Amino acid sequence: MDEQKVLSIKGLLDDTPEEYLSHKEKYENSIRKSVLFYKTLHSTEDENMSVDEKTKLNFRNIVTSAIFKDNSPFMLHNSMFIPTIMGQGTDEQREYWMKRAKNMEIIGTYAQTELGHGTFIRGLETQATYDPDTEEFVLHSPVLSSYKWWPGGLAHTANYCIVMARLYIKGKSHGIHPFMVQIRDEETHMPLPGIKLGEIGAKLGFNTVNNGFLGFENHRISRDRMLMKNAQVLKDGTFVAGSNSKLTYGTMVYVRVLIVSNMANMLAKAVTIALRYSAIRRQSQPKPDEPEPQILDYVTQQHKLFIAIASSHAFYMNAMWLWEIYYSVSLQLASGKLDNLPELHALACCLKPLSTIDATAMIEKCRLACGGHGYMLSANLAQTYGLATAAYTYEGENTVLLLQAARSLVKAWVGHVKGRPLKGTMAYLAGDSTVKAWDGSIDGIIQSFKVVAIRKISSVVKILQDYEKSGLSPEDAWNKASVFLTAASEAHGRAVLLSVYKSEMDKRAAVLSPPLRKVLLQLVDLYVTYWALEKVGDMLLYASITDKDVDELQRRYIELLAAIRPNAVGLVDAFDFRDEILNSTLGAYDGRAYERLMEEAMKSPLNAEPVNQTFHKYLKPFMRGKL
């Protein structure tokens, strides 16, 4: 069913703006709409759809659920609960649980993070102790810090949950494994015995996702509730290890890839709002005898916004490219071939951080570009920022992931120096690490970014080796060099983002009409030129750019802004967001921002009466000196 039909469903859109609801009302309203939304979508699903098709439809669920201005309490059900069953369950477990989950007979979440640990998965404390006498696992939260904390939908929505817990058999720890746990009665929705559930409280955003906490008091589950695709516990308690303990972390890689495409979507929404508003907003009078210009004609405004359009395209192209790698590695993993998993992990550890760092910063810049009206919640820019900035932290905090990528880059470089061949997205590290003369072409600039990455990686390896020669342990050397390790990962990520965007666009250019090709390639040029100027220090240090070249780059950048200006509104219209999904007084297609701002203002409960009751209760006595 297309968005048109979905969005026309009565009751799906809010009469009372969510901003004026209480924390509890926001959640209850979001449940009401999520149920309406999914019922509508599921009522149209063709039962003959393959699982893959349905999964894609669920992706659309998640994406279109953005109309709630926040994310749905069902978000984790689709984005992690179902993918974990798919990726970590045996065929039999998949068959049973996927049917129930996809029909929404059960609602699930993914509980890994604890009050005391988020990044350090090996430090998780929730226990799953195997009892061979009863063929059960005993789930227990030994201390407060072991309570699951953060999972979306956990507080009041989900009745099942994938719990990542430390497996103990006969007193021995066998690491972290996934367990399917029913947490609420399917009829009464009451928490089951030995299970403590609750909500973690109000947050910067995600306030309808129902993030919760979960504690176990010796809660028993049957043996078949451990998802046993990658490792097994036999009836007698024998532990059968998987081919690679990190396969348990597979859902995280999947979601990190999903996040890159989601950042493309979030940034596209924000720049659509800000750019459309910039086209209708007129301000100041630089030329006395002319009317106030559109603020979009200020080059500083173009500088704030056009890079966001290009970045959304870049993230989308990189996400589609990364999805292809993900699917291919997933097929290889299914046949026991693991050797490309580290590279996929390293790529996700670069692109998820860079896309979330850039998107968060550019969404905030879109808000700032709208002046006072950008500060209104009715503009839906603050909420979009709140959703995007969460992705800096969840699914692997960005610094930690960049350090993970550095781990792979350092290993690859040390291996290369010893003569081991480099492969895949790291093959360029074997390339020439000096730029003879600055080549201001787009391909030349991208090559310079690769040189910057090579030089940063090789120099941070030298720093590590010098620290270790000085007597530091590898761990202390690593920590001491970690600022430059993350810088090396960022440089690698930049080189990947730029080169993939360019190459993916070049592939598509051949089938585009000449006018469309011209505009889209202008965005590629803008993106590459913008980042060369942003990283001009690295270019000066490693890519032999001169001050004359920089001057040329700056002039080219300004010309690109001017060239894109005539198509700017068309470029955001091409994202094709319906007004209901933008959900913004500033970004509506008809450009009636002022009327919409007033309409929304009048919905404030305070405007229901001309004099608020506090005047007579407090103000008047106060002003008469009688308080």
Ligand X SMILES: Cc1cc2nc3c(=O)[nH]c(=O)nc-3n(C[C@H](O)[C@H](O)[C@H](O)COP(=O)(O)OP(=O)(O)OC[C@H]3O[C@@H](n4cnc5c(N)ncnc54)[C@H](O)[C@@H]3O)c2cc1C
Of these, 306, 394, 413, 478, which contacts ligand X (CB under 6 A)?
Answer: 394
- Contact between 502 and 524 under an 8 Å Cβ cutoff? The reply is yes
Q: Which two tokens stand for residue 279?
A: 């086209």
Of these, 135, 199, 343, 397, which contacts ligand X (CB under 6 A)?
Answer: 397
Q: Which of 114, 125, 395, 490 is catalytic?
A: 395
Of these, 108, 152, 178, 493, which contacts ligand X (CB under 6 A)?
Answer: 152
Annotated binding site for FAD: 113, 152
118 binds ligand X (CB under 6 A): yes
Cα atoms in the Cβ-side hemisphere of radius 13 Å centred on 214: 41
| CB count in 10 Å sphere of residue 94 | 18
Report the alpha-carbon distance of residue 494 to residue 451 in Å, rounded: 11
Q: Which two tokens stand for residue 307?
A: 């890079």
Q: Output 244 or 294, the one with its CB closest to ligand LKMIAJQL.
A: 244
Characterise 237 by phi-psi region: left (phi > 0), alpha (psi -120 to 50), beta (else): left
Dihedral angle computed from the Cα positions of residues 67, 69, 73 and 78, in that order, rounded to the nearest 10 degrees: 50
395 an active-site residue?
Answer: yes
254 binds ligand X (CB under 6 A): no
Contacting ligand X within 283-342 (CB under 6 A): none
Of 253-261, 358-366, 389-397, 528-536, the segment contacting ligand X by CB under 6 A is: 389-397
In angstroms, what is the minimal distance from the CB of 262 to ligand X?
Answer: 13
Question: Which of 487, 503, 416 minimizes the C-alpha distance to 452?
Answer: 487
Q: Output 200 or 536, the one with its CB closest to ligand X.
A: 200
Q: Output 275 or 485, the one with its CB closest to ligand X.
A: 485
Cα atoms in the Cβ-side hemisphere of radius 13 Å centred on 330: 16
In angstroms, what is the minimal distance from the CB of 317 to ligand X?
Answer: 26
Q: What is the 3-state secondary structure (H, E, C) of 457-511?
A: HHHHHHHHHHHHHCCCCHHHHHHHCHHHHHHHHHHHHHHHHHHHHHHHHHHHHCC
Could you give the residue ranges of the DSSP H alpha helices within 237-340?
A: 250-280, 299-334
In angstroms, what is the minimal distance from the CB of 123 to ligand X?
Answer: 10
Of these, 38, 147, 179, 206, which contacts ligand X (CB under 6 A)?
Answer: 206
Of these, 101, 195, 354, 403, which contacts ligand X (CB under 6 A)?
Answer: 403
Contacting ligand X within 73-112 (CB under 6 A): 76, 110-112
- Residues of this chain that interact with ligand LKMIAJQL (CB under 6 A) are 62-63, 65-66, 71, 75-76, 79, 110, 112-113, 118-122, 152, 246, 249, 252-253, 255, 258-259, 262, 341-342, 345, 394-396, 400, 404, 407
Question: Which of 69, 45, 58 minimizes the C-alpha distance to 108?
Answer: 58
Which of the choices ligand LKMIAJQL, ligand X, none does residue 111 contact, using the CB cut-off of 5 to 8 A by kind? ligand X
Phi then psi for residue 446, to 5 deg, are -65, -40
Residues identified as active-site? 395
Residues that bind ligand X in the complex, under the rule CB under 6 A:
76, 110-113, 118-119, 150-152, 206, 211, 390, 393-394, 396-397, 399-400, 403
